[in-house]
Amino acid sequence: MSTALADELRTTFLFEGLSDEQLGWLVERGDVVSYDEGAQVYGEGEPGEHFLVLLDGGVRFTRRVGADVLKMPETTQRGVYAGATQAFVGDGRNDYLNSLLTTRPSRFFRVGADDFSTFMHRWFPMAVHLLEGLFVGVRNTEATVRQHEQLVALGALSAGLAHELNNPASAAMRATGQLRDRVAAMRQKLAMIADGRLPADDLGELVAAQERVIELAAKAPRRSALAESEAEDALTEWLDDHGVTNSWDVAAVFAGAGVELDWMRELADQLGDELLEPALRWLMYTLETESLVIEIEDATSRISTLVAAVKQYSHMDRAPFQDLDVTEGIDSTLTLMSHKLGAIEVVREYADEIPLVPGYVGELNQVWTNLIDNARQAMDGAGTLTVRVHPARGGVVVQICDTGAGIPDDVRPRIFEAFFTTKRSGEGSGLGLEIAHRIIVQRHLGRIDVESTPGETCFSVWLPGDRTRASA
- For the chain, the structural domain boundaries read 3-123, 159-305, 316-470
Q: Identify the weakest region by mean pLDDT among 244-248, 356-360, 390-394, 463-467.
A: 463-467
3-123 topology per CATH: Jelly Rolls (2.60.120)
Least confident of 18-27, 46-55, 131-140: 131-140
Give the model confidence (pLDDT) of 355-377 as tens digits.
Answer: 898 888 878 888 898 899 889 88
Confidence of residue 300 (pLDDT cuts 50, 70, 90): confident
Contacts for 231 with CB less than 8 Å, ≥ 6 apart: 223, 255, 260
Parallel, antiparallel or unpaired: strands 395-402 and 456-464: antiparallel
C-alpha 82/C-alpha 63 separation (Å) is 13
Name the phi and psi angles at 294, rounded to 5.
Answer: -65, -40
For domain 316-470, the question of CATH label 3.40.366.30 is answered with no
Give mean pLDDT, residues 93-100.
83
pLDDT at 193 over 50: yes
Q: Mean pLDDT, to the nearest integer, of 450-457?
A: 90
Please tell me the predicted confidence (pLDDT) of residue 25: 93
Over residues 391-395, the mean pLDDT reads 87
Angle (deg, nearest 10), helices 361-379 and 125-195: 80
- Per-residue confidence (pLDDT) for residue 158, from 0 to 100: 61
Pick the residue with more confidence: 410 or 426?
410
